[in-house]
Structure 1
Amino acid sequence: MSNLAVLFDLDGTLLDRDSSLLLFAQDQYDRFPELRIAERDVFIRRFIELDQHGYVWKDKVYQQLLVELSISALEWPVMLDDYLRHFPGHCVAFPGLSETLSRLKQQGARLALVSNGFGQFQYDNLKALGVEHLFDAILISEWEAVRKPDPAIFHRALDKLGVSAENAWFIGDHPDNDIRAARAAGLKTVWKRSGQFEAPPEADAVIGDLTELLEVILPADL
């Protein structure tokens, strides 16, 4: 099966970002006495709301959050730097991540990560999940100077893997950036269920748990 490629999104697909962000927000509040001018639950809830599932970068989040909660003893760059340094320590993988990737590798599949975001930050998050060594290629939009849904980033990943689009799958949670974009680039797609989005009808398959991916991609006799 060396001609099989499986490409993955990171946030919301491999990384349980919602759980990770909650753990980080709780820890950040507890580590900064200056934040206690606000109630703990209020700080955490508003931080998560402003984050909008990662689609608002934290410079904007902290600028608004500190103003809203009247926290003047801290500057937003300090909070942003703390986020960059400490978030990876709270990364939570979705169940079955390591087992699923390992099984795909055992069957000869070539694996790639294709993620939007800041290069070192996303790579540190991947490392925190303990599976970076299983990937044959890692493409992050900042490092690649191209981002999903541009088909160029999918084609670049396939070039690195040496596999054609017709023999490749893409697994992600975003209907546009992942599913529709990957299909437009010629890949088959699997949508990982998300509480944030409706299921895209364009997906070739839908999974709720990563282990279900093996039944979709691997032949039944393996």
Structure 2
Amino acid sequence: MIKAIIFDLDQTLLNRQASLESFTDAQYDRYIDYLTPVSKAEFKSKFMDFDNNGYVWKDKVYAALIEYFNIRGLTKDELLEDYITTFCDYCVPFPYLYETLDELTANNYKLGIITNGKFPFQLHNINALKLDTYMDTILISEQENIKKPNPLIFEKAAKQLGFAMHECLFVGDNFENDYQAAKNADMHAIYKANHQAMPTSNIPFINNLDELISQLKNV
């Protein structure tokens, strides 16, 4: 019987793509005096390319942008500091986030987050979405010095929640680091496909968070 639900953050609870769109739009406006004649569309497009779905930290992203567009009078450190301090102001939740968390809480599930990423950057994003008010444990890889897919980070979350691994279910959008890693750690898992092509067939999945409740009946 599932007693705890543990979530990935980016592209699972936090709509990272929409958040980045909003952030880069505003960042361009803040630094427009340095970025012309680069268009906003060009700036945002190359940011996304260099970001590689979050797998490249922003110091390298901004260094690449400055070189690509030959930007003068603005350093990667200035842009990085702006990103670190203000990105949380642009965090966008996925639809049905709060309704789903409210229903899970009402049904006495314990809740947690395991996310790879920088600390306290990821914590600021979690707090911006008020996810901290729902969660019984939050593990951020840089703070824990363990990252997914290492099973130790899943084991630590289960221990903090007070349940055996088979009593926990993990929900995430990365097939290797979330779904398969949780399964390898002896947790149940559901893949959040986000309407993308499935990496393999015959696995439990959701596209939207409001589908999670009904999927729990099949675990």
Question: How high is the TM-score relative to the length of structure 1?
Answer: 0.93
Q: What is residue 6 of structure 1 aligned with on the other side?
A: 5
Q: What is residue 23 of structure 1 aligned with on the other side?
A: 22
Q: Deviations over 1:8-61 (max 9, x none)?
A: 000010010001001100100001121123111111111111111111110000
Contact 1:7 1:170 in 2 (8 A): yes
- Of the structure 1 ranges 28-37 and 15-24, higher mean CA displacement relative to structure 2 is found in 28-37
Contact 2:195 2:207 in 1 (8 A): no
Please state how far the C-alpha of 1:201 moved relative to its aligned partner.
4.1
**Using the alignment, how far apart are the partners of 1:195 and 1:209 within structure 2?**
8
Moved over 6 A (4+): none
**Using the alignment, how far apart are the partners of 2:14 and 2:96 within structure 1?**
11
Q: What is residue 211 of structure 2 aligned with on the other side?
A: 212
Please state how far the C-alpha of 1:218 moved relative to its aligned partner.
4.9
Contact 2:194 2:206 in 1 (8 A): no
- Of the structure 1 ranges 30-39 and 107-116, higher mean CA displacement relative to structure 2 is found in 30-39
Partner secondary structure for residue 119 of structure 1? coil
Partner secondary structure for residue 43 of structure 2? helix
How many residue pairs are counted as aligned between the two chains?
A: 217
Q: What is residue 41 of structure 1 aligned with on the other side?
A: 41
Please state how far the C-alpha of 1:210 moved relative to its aligned partner.
0.1
Contact 2:114 2:140 in 1 (8 A): yes
The one-letter code sitting in structure 1 at the alignment partner of 2:27 is: Q
**Using the alignment, how far apart are the partners of 1:20 and 1:36 within structure 2?**
23
1:94-173 map, 5 Å: 94-173=94-173
Residue 200 to residue 8, structure 1, CA distance change in 2 (3 Å): farther
Please state how far the C-alpha of 1:131 moved relative to its aligned partner.
2.1
Q: What is residue 190 of structure 1 aligned with on the other side?
A: 190
- Unaligned stretches of 5+ residues in structure 1: none
Question: How high is the TM-score relative to the length of structure 2?
Answer: 0.95
**Using the alignment, how far apart are the partners of 1:139 and 1:110 within structure 2?**
14
**Using the alignment, how far apart are the partners of 2:120 and 2:155 within structure 1?**
22
**Using the alignment, how far apart are the partners of 2:167 and 2:83 within structure 1?**
38
**Using the alignment, how far apart are the partners of 1:139 and 1:154 within structure 2?**
9
Q: Identity across aligned pairs (percent)? A: 38
The one-letter code sitting in structure 2 at the alignment partner of 1:119 is: F
Q: CA RMSD in A?
A: 1.6
Contact 1:180 1:202 in 2 (8 A): no
- Unaligned stretches of 5+ residues in structure 2: none
**Using the alignment, how far apart are the partners of 1:36 and 1:144 within structure 2?**
41
Q: What is residue 78 of structure 1 aligned with on the other side?
A: 78
Please state how far the C-alpha of 1:198 moved relative to its aligned partner.
3.5
Partner secondary structure for residue 111 of structure 2? strand
Residue 147 to residue 192, structure 1, CA distance change in 2 (3 Å): same
**Using the alignment, how far apart are the partners of 2:12 and 2:84 within structure 1?**
20
Contact 1:5 1:167 in 2 (8 A): yes
